[in-house]
Amino acid sequence: MITALVNGRVLRAGALRDGEAVLLDGERIAAIVPAGDVPADAVRHDLDGAMLLPGFIDTQVNGGGGVLFNDTPSVEGIAAIGAAHRRYGTTGFLPTLISDDLDVIRHAVAAVDAAIEAGVPGVLGIHIEGPFLNVERRGIHRADKIRTLDDEGLTVLTSLQRGRTLVTLAPERTTPATIRRLVDAGVIVAAGHSNATYEQAIAAVEAGATGITHLFNAMSPLTSRAPGLTGAALERPELICGIIVDGHHVSPTTLGIALRCKPPEQLMLVTDAMPSVGSDADHFVLQDRHITVRDGICRDADGTIAGSHLDMAAAVANTVKLLGAPIAAAARMAAYAPAAFLGLHDSLGEIAPGFRADLVALNADFAVTGSWIGGVHEGA
């Protein structure tokens, strides 16, 4: 049965297009046709003038719906997190584990494997953010969880059987040879929570690192004579940089400079979301620390920012409103860039025939009015 998404503004080829219908056949996009050419026997879904965008892909999701992945590394926990974020247009995500013991990482990897096998909507793999970080740039990560990357750690990091594995590490706390071992095993490596020199960062890139975790936050800055990890991130086209556009983590002016340095394909929106997203709770516990959510910011008792209260629809809206980016660029940062980063851009991140029908409809206020994952609709 063909489903026709009609009466919307379809984002494709870099522009919102009126008068087109997107035809879905099962889990794939079958065709994009003039609205007058919709087959008579198609089931019509009226978008009521909404923007139809590629579904958002979030590579850094610590929690949502009152669930923290570190506390609930299970299929049920992953499903609850995914359901919470789907309400905000996220159709693909990586449950993200912050620095923890190797046994917790093992359980998390097993849970993601099981979730993908069970068909939990939207799960694309896992993001293991630490514990192989620089304690000097740990942010909210617990110092006693940070450790050196050894053979046991490598075995755990390369153990996922289904989906993508993203690992955030500090390049200066390991070696290019170790990074190459991870990359050769199929792991995507991002630099983050790092005090790396520019030279150490470039050595990691040459060893196969392709990502930067939350650009500008928890990393060596760009200065006059020491470009640091930030300078490498802005300079090297191989590096796709995650950015948190919540108005709190990074100044909009600073993010605007990044947009002038790198095209949308090299910047991906991430939420770094905590359990409060999709929940009414104004606080939660993160590894024995009480985190308060106030004015859209998650902080511990010392004032350290602990992830975010951001969702992807808000990140897209902020990219347009705070950074002045066109909606096409913001959507590319929310869909195509992360798909490319994960090596999934041949089937995700665009509205095109043959691509998976992962889509989101947004009204003029950037509120989600509906979403599709593999052609399955949820929402208005």
Q: What is the set of active-site residues?
A: 272
On whether the CB atoms of residues 35 and 80 are closer than 8 A, the answer is no
On whether the CB atoms of residues 205 and 232 are closer than 8 A, the answer is yes
Residue 43's closest CA among 6, 86, 9, 70?
6
| Residue recorded with tokens 């940062």 | 333
Alpha helices in the chain (DSSP H): 75-86, 102-118, 151-157, 176-184, 198-206, 228-235, 252-261, 312-321, 327-331, 337-341
Amino acid letter for position 195: N
On whether the CB atoms of residues 330 and 316 are closer than 8 A, the answer is yes
Q: How far apart are CA 78 and CA 68, in angstroms?
A: 9
The percent helix, strand, coil of the chain (3-state, each to 5) is 30, 30, 40
On whether the CB atoms of residues 255 and 245 are closer than 8 A, the answer is yes
Amino acid letter for position 23: L
φ and ψ at residue 135, rounded to 5 degrees: -60, -25
| DSSP string covering 246-306 | SSSSS-HHHHHHHHHHS-GGGEEE---B-TTTTS--SEEEETTEEEEEETTEEE-TT--B-
On whether the CB atoms of residues 258 and 48 are closer than 8 A, the answer is no
| DSSP string covering 198-261 | HHHHHHHHHTT--EESSTTSSBPPP-SS--HHHHHHHH-TT-EEEE--SSSSS-HHHHHHHHHH
Q: What Å distances lie between residue 300 and 73, 146, 288, 293, 305, CA to CA? A: 22, 19, 11, 9, 7
